[in-house]
Amino acid sequence: MSGAAPIAWQCVTQCRACGGALTVMFCDLGAQPLANAYVNPQSAPESDQRLPLRALVCDACQLVQLDTIADAGAIFVDYAYLSSVSESWVRHAADFCRQAQAQMNPDFVVELASNDGYLLQHFRADGVRCLGVEPAANVAEIARARGIDTIVRFFGVEAARDIARDHGQAGLIVANNVLAHVPDVNDFVAGIAVLLAPGGHVSIECPTVLELARQAQFDTIYHEHYAYWSLHALEKFLGRHGLAVVDAQPLPTHGGSMRVTVRHARDTSGPMPGLVSMRQSEAEAGISAPAFYAGFGPRVSAILDETRAFLTQRHARGDVIVAYGAAAKGNTFLNALGEAASTIACVGDANPLKAGKLLPGTRLPIVTPQQMAARKPDVVLLLAWNLATEIDSVLAGLGLAGRQMATAVPCLVLREIGA
């Protein structure tokens, strides 16, 4: 995807979920390259294509979403993100598997965007029949090598019918951190309604716009994330597809997510206490009012200004600055910094598919954690702030204890590594 062919994209003015008007600006991050378009130094074009990156709010359902739609094929064909690289994420999946089997006892589990099999491997180990659906062929191949039956395609009504015909309907459908990535979200959720067995459950995890706004997590906004869901917007949306949320719980993952349990509307009884409580938190925050979304943009500008000043000052006094975590949100952040990103020597990442490549836009080199540590950095700017505890011990293990780790979201914080 770092090749020369330009990425097709378009601007929209209507809500992808309900067709309402997108009028209120939530956050404008300027023109940015695709955040996952890692650049191969051997075949790098002169510059990376940039598309507008801004999120707006739907007047009718309050779904926060991008008004730029980049071609999904360009985004996912050579997707370099491997879920299993994060140990805490694999543990999270194992816990879910145990809980789901105790509460739902599914006979057939389908995971949408099953990645490298990080989650289904736990069901498989317990002898539960499962199937992964993963659009990125290189990632699906890793899952298959683990013995997890995986089909390579985008999910929607057509895929759902094919799966139901060939494998039967699913007692449990898992859709973790995928809803935001789906360009045609109506087709995707209609497909879930087709594939879900009567009496079955759907478990959806996604970051919440409530935490995004509260913690100023603007760097989770990038072209691959078309929409930023609240429970409020999600319930309205699922209802139009004959599905209903029956339970909800907040999760600490990705800086603040929700896990919602969904069933066919005809299978539901009253809302569980977790759902009542999350509805109340959102209502108290004013999630349905435009005022909730106003003021986010200026807060983002303030964070960027503070970080630019810090990096420029430390660089000027001769400190070695590196960054850690070459994930998509790091790219949003670094590209939003502009010129100040050039104070960073390199970006360390544990994913072997990324080392040796360059970050899109900033063209900073991605190196292994060991190579990064060999630079003896004075400051490690942690881009993957959601994994701070895990990465702190990684950095200490690399001999960087006592040096400084900086996180910039929601505000600039410096701490001593390994303290």
Question: What is the contact surface with Zn ion in residues (CB under 5 A)?
Answer: 15, 17-18, 20, 58, 60-61, 63
CA distance 397 to 228: 35
CB of 236 to Zn ion, least distance (A): 8
Nearer to Zn ion, 140 or 227 (CB): 227
- Give the CA distances from residue 203 to residues 84, 120, 224, in Å, rounded to whole numbers and listed in that order: 20, 13, 21
Q: What is the DSSP string of 49-69?
A: --EEEEEEEETTT--EEESEE
Nearer to Zn ion, 17 or 148 (CB): 17
CB of 59 to Zn ion, least distance (A): 7
CB of 191 to Zn ion, least distance (A): 20
Nearer to Zn ion, 20 or 52 (CB): 20
- Give the CA distances from residue 228 to residues 11, 17, 113, in Å, rounded to whole numbers and listed in that order: 17, 12, 17
CB of 238 to Zn ion, least distance (A): 13
CA distance 333 to 70: 19
CB of 209 to Zn ion, least distance (A): 13
Would you say 68 and 11 are in contact if contact means Cβ atoms under 8 Å apart? yes
- Give the CA distances from residue 117 to residues 45, 147, 185, in Å, rounded to whole numbers and listed in that order: 33, 9, 23
Nearer to Zn ion, 169 or 186 (CB): 186
Nearer to Zn ion, 247 or 282 (CB): 282
Would you say 314 and 321 are in contact if contact means Cβ atoms under 8 Å apart? yes
Nearer to Zn ion, 56 or 159 (CB): 56
Nearer to Zn ion, 17 or 179 (CB): 17
Place of tokens 């072997």: 352
Q: What is the dihedral of CA 27, 32, 34, 40, to 10 degrees?
A: -150
Query: What angle in degrees, to the nearest 10, is found between the helix axes of 231-239 and 273-285?
Result: 120
CB of 62 to Zn ion, least distance (A): 7
CB of 290 to Zn ion, least distance (A): 13
